Structure 1
Amino acid sequence: MSREKRKLRKKFIVFCEGDTEYNYIDTMRLNQGVELALKPINMHGGGYSNFLEVIKKEANNNCLAKFIVIDYDRVKKHPGELAKLKEIIEYCKLQNSNKRIPHFLILDNPDFEYIACLHILEYQGQDVKKFIEQTLGFKNIDNFKAKKDVYEYLNTKGNSYNIMLDRLKEYIVKNSYNINKSNFDIRITKTDVIWDNENKRGSNIREMFEIIDW
């Protein structure tokens, strides 16, 4: 008697840069339905070049979309990284124009820790490091980054990703897309890059929440 073939779950692949993002998304994926699975890949801060290499190597089998979640502050700390970031942008645009697996570049400016603070009503735009250490009471920002239950921490006791999304107004990258829910099909039709916003804190992370919460 032949064994019935196991059905693979359709999934999203999420590439993320640091421990905060990894811990957040790793818990976030557990809240999704059986048809969708998130696969965080911790890049261990290897830089934009490392991102691009891993993105290219990752298999597309049964994958609905890829999200590349990165911090923009690397550009300001390491000027040579701007060219590498532009390579990622062009690679994503190429994949999307060829109607392959959609590649959503999510650019957090300056970083994911800022996005994390936006979950909390008390946060009113002050220095992120001081807020995490002085108001939230963490010994240092590294302790916050290493917090395994950061998703629960940021989504309980009045804190919520909905608060964060409501506060986000600015972005450097914006992906326009269409979703066909019946066919589990996602297409990115256009990616805009607004370099004039590089000094405005913000993110297009709303796109990731909209896609996985459909």
Structure 2
Amino acid sequence: MSRKERVLKKRYAIFCEGDTEYNYIDKMRKNQGVELVLKPINMHGGGYTNFLKQIKKEAQTNYLAKFIIVDADRIKTVPGEQENFLKLLEYCKLQNDKGNTPHFLIADNPDFEYVACLHDADYKGQDTKNFIVNAWKFKELTAFKSVEEVYEFLNTGNKSYKLMLEVIRKQDKLVSNKY
């Protein structure tokens, strides 16, 4: 009897900053019905240096690409983080120049809460914390960040990832990935 043929799935690694981002990406992966193996890696904060260490640690893996999703607000608000961000950016460029596994650096500018608000047709650029609390009726920002079903929440009613993509495509980019 012949052995059953093994089907290899495309594998991508996604490094993200916190629980909200992790939950969003994990549910997106499941809900989109895409035949991919995503490995969302929750960095639990720690800054850009933590990202760089983890990415280097996972350097010898068989991923088709690595996506590194960071909040850009740390660049200007946390001492030393601008330099650390530039090191992370340079490492990604170096890997891409070598022809290794592509590294795509994605900066939520300023943060994931802003990206979340872009899912809502009623969001017109106002303060994200106030919008989340007032329009979405969360008691406080931490209540929103603790929602495990964040992907589902951001894709119901007049909220959709398609709206977010439409807005982002028109904006200036903090980082441009060329591969």
| Structure 1 and Structure 2 fold alike (TM over 0.5) | yes
Q: Say whether residues 1:174 and 2:168 are aligned partners.
A: no
Aligned counterparts, 1:26-175, within 5 A? 26-30=26-30, 31-34=32-35, 36-58=36-58, 60-168=60-168, 169-175=171-177
Distance between the aligned counterparts of 2:41 and 2:141, measured in 1?
21
Greater Cα shift, 87-96 or 60-69: 60-69
TM-score, length-scaled by structure 1? 0.77
Distance between the aligned counterparts of 1:5 and 1:88, measured in 2?
40
After TM superposition, the runs of 4+ consecutive aligned structure 1 residues lying more than 3 A away are 1-8, 59-62
SS in 2 for 1:105: strand
For 1:170, the aligned partner's letter is D
Distance between the aligned counterparts of 1:32 and 1:89, measured in 2?
31
Give unpaired runs (5+ residues) of structure 1.
Answer: 177-187, 189-214
Deviation (angstroms), 1:175: 1.3
Is contact 1:10-1:62 (8 Å) kept? no
For 2:9, the aligned partner's letter is R
Distance between the aligned counterparts of 1:87 and 1:59, measured in 2?
16
Structural RMSD (CA):
1.7
Give unpaired runs (5+ residues) of structure 2.
Answer: none
TM-score, length-scaled by structure 2? 0.92
Is contact 1:20-1:113 (8 Å) kept? no
Q: Deviations over 1:29-86 (max 9, x none)?
A: 112432x221111100111111000001115543111000000111222121111100
For 2:43, the aligned partner's letter is M
Distance between the aligned counterparts of 1:100 and 1:152, measured in 2?
34
Deviation (angstroms), 1:112: 0.9
Distance between the aligned counterparts of 1:70 and 1:39, measured in 2?
16
Distance between the aligned counterparts of 2:56 and 2:5, measured in 1?
28
